[in-house]
Amino acid sequence: MNHERITRRLLLYESLGFVLLITVSWLDELMGLPALLFGSAVQPNWYEAALETVIIFGAAIPTLWLTRRLVRRLVYLEGFLHVCAWCRKINVNDDQWMPMEEYFKTELNTKTTHGICQECSEKFLTRT
């Protein structure tokens, strides 16, 4: 699944949760939920509902912003290839390692060959 789609879906679910909290807050004032549940008198308090809405928005904005930032960071970190420092094998799954050349061939459909860069050529071949 596309990482951007996952991010949007996660933020949508969080947003729906905050909208649900605001809806319950206003339904409490419009329908008198405590009166329906406990049988007390209905006394709507619009200021309380408005204050609860502002507080929920105040919590929602940083929560959504931090969630988006966290998901972007996780997607960034998941994009790294784990390469063994000694044998240069690549970690495909948590328990499966494959040689770099095989990974390029199977995953990227790329052929590989070996050569030597200019720096290594100067460093190793000019010693003799």
Tens-digit pLDDT string for the chain (128 aa): 577 888 889 999 999 999 999 998 888 887 777 777 777 776 777 888 899 999 999 999 999 999 999 998 988 887 788 888 888 888 887 788 998 888 888 888 888 888 888 888 888 777 65
Closest CA to 42 of 51, 58, 29, 27: 29
The span from the CA of 18 to the CA of 38, in Å, is 26
The span from the CA of 16 to the CA of 8, in Å, is 12
Work out the number of other CB atoms within 10 angstroms of the CB of residue 33.
Answer: 14
Closest CA to 8 of 63, 57, 79, 64: 64
Phi, psi of 45 (to 5 degrees): -130, 90
pTM of the model as a whole? 0.60
